[in-house]
């Protein structure tokens, strides 16, 4: 970013902070960076690209835009559902028949946005993609102050499970992964205390002002996941790090989550949304 563009960019958020206050401005700034990174990397997410290279690109871009990394970026392919942070030694390349999910966050002064998107190449996977898009859109539409949490999950599930896909000659009804959910986002804590399931549930607590992530995860063959192998993601006191962060403390290593079916394909979209009594801002 050249000096002129940087000063213009910096002044934009100084002016916003004066108008809106600190927390909302930081969320908006983090969300703008998240959206810009998606634009920067999108054309590189193609068959033949190593997933580790995408991971490194995201890390470097977050730093380039003067933000910090709240958790290691995840690049999940094939039957991986979520949370796959590759090591440098991982030579996995994207294939034409993959559904690729890219999941990363951006942190500005402790205000974190969390977002994910999926990419596909084989037209056979379009219904899976479309169902997940429609699921997150109805989830965002339903997310409002005073909405009961169970109404959000019920709306997402109804839309997603109305889809089916003809995959490799077999007709499948699409399935929400039941034990993964959206969540609140708190300062310095990407996974806050409020869960927003993507399915029908009994939680009648109502949404209040705050920041939330809506994120349906949809598969062709399963509604559950299994922990599979350890990844380049570690936790210390609920904070996330990777090998590149040169962590040398007593740490817990995380696992990626996969479908129990090797030939399954899974799709994941996520947006962070800021809510108060006067505003609903889709940050990512």
Digitized pLDDT (tens) for each residue of the chain, 284 residues in all: 444 344 445 556 555 555 555 688 999 999 999 999 999 999 999 999 999 999 999 999 999 999 999 989 999 998 999 999 998 899 999 999 999 999 999 999 999 999 999 999 999 999 999 999 999 999 999 999 999 999 999 999 999 999 999 999 999 999 999 999 999 999 999 999 999 999 999 999 999 999 999 999 999 999 999 887 777 776 666 667 676 776 555 556 777 788 989 999 999 999 999 999 889 999 99
75 φψ region: left (φ > 0), alpha (ψ -120 to 50), beta (else): beta
Q: What is the residue whose two structure tokens read 């549930």?
A: 201
**Alpha helical stretches, state H, the chain:** 3-20, 22-41, 51-64, 126-142, 149-160
* Fold exhibited by the domain 3-282: Creatine Amidinohydrolase (3.90.230)
Query: Domain coordinates of the chain in residue numbers?
Result: 3-282
d(CA 91, CA 201): 40
Q: How many CB atoms lie within 10 A of CB 151?
A: 18
Q: What is the pTM of this model?
A: 0.90
- Report yes or no: 150 and 202 within 8 Å, Cβ to Cβ: yes
User: β-strand 252-258 against 226-236: which pairing, if any?
Assistant: antiparallel
């Amino acid at each position: 970013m050249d000096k002129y563009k940087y000063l213009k960019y910096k002044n934009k958020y100084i002016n916003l902070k004066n108008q809106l206050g600190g927390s909302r401005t930081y969320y908006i700034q983090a969300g703008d960076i998240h959206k810009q990174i998606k634009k920067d990397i999108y054309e590189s997410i193609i068959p033949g690209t190593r997933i580790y290279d995408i991971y490194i690109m995201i890390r470097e871009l977050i730093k380039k835009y003067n933000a910090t990394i709240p958790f290691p970026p995840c690049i999940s392919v094939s039957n991986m559902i979520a949370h796959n942070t590759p090591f440098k030694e991982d030579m996995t390349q994207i294939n034409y028949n993959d559904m690729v999910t890219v999941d990363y966050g951006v942190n500005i002064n402790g205000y974190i946005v969390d977002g994910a998107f999926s990419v596909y190449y084989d037209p056979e996977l379009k219904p899976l993609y479309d169902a997940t898009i429609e699921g997150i859109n109805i989830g965002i539409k339903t997310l409002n102050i005073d909405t009961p949490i169970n109404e959000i999950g019920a709306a997402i599930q109804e839309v997603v499970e109305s889809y089916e896909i003809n995959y490799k000659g077999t007709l499948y009804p699409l399935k929400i992964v039941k034990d993964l959910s959206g969540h609140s986002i708190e300062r310095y804590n990407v996974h806050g205390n409020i869960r927003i399931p993507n399915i029908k549930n009994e939680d009648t607590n109502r949404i209040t002002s705050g920041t939330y992530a809506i994120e349906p995860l949809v598969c062709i063959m399963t509604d559950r996941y299994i922990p599979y192998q350890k990844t380049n993601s570690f936790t210390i006191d609920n904070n996330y790090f990777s090998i590149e962060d040169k962590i040398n403390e007593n740490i817990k290593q995380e696992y990626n989550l996969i479908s129990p079916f090797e030939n399954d394909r899974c799709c994941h979209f996520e947006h962070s949304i800021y809510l108060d009594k006067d505003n609903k801002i889709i940050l990512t």
